[in-house]
Amino acid sequence: MIGVCLTALYISLLSPMGAQRMVMDKLLAVDTLVFLLSATLSFMSMRARRRRAAYESYAEAIFIAGLGLLSLVALTLAFVVD
């Protein structure tokens, strides 16, 4: 998913420089960190003896939030790029 965010960042370079592009770039950078956090929590859920279910639950919720943010940025990008 981090690769998808990076691909979207490079596609956003096709749009003219402006406030919308800057916001999309920042959101995609934050989304990359969200997916990294989700992967870290998922790894912790596999390794932990205690709180395994809690880590897995947090990882799933954060992953879904990351997908939502990525979808929002992709939808915006589709209307901005000419």
Q: What is the largest CA-CA distance in the chain?
A: 51
Q: Is 2 contained in some domain?
A: no
Residue 82: its pLDDT value, please?
62
Residue 49: its pLDDT value, please?
87
DSSP category for residue 48: -
pTM > 0.85: yes or no: no
- Specify the number of domains making up the chain: 1
The residue type found at 77 is L
Is the confidence at residue 40, as pLDDT, over 90? yes
Q: How far apart are CA 27 and CA 12, in angstroms?
A: 12
Q: Is 48 contained in some domain?
A: yes
Over residues 14-25, the pLDDT tens digits come to 767 777 778 888
Q: Is 69 contained in some domain?
A: yes
The proportion of the chain whose per-residue pLDDT surpasses 70, expressed as a percent, equals 93
Residue 81: its pLDDT value, please?
65
Residue 25: its pLDDT value, please?
82
Category of 48 on φ-ψ map: left (φ > 0), alpha (ψ -120 to 50) or beta:
beta
Tell me which residue range forms the domain holding 68. 19-76
Q: Is 5 contained in some domain?
A: no
Q: Is 49 contained in some domain?
A: yes
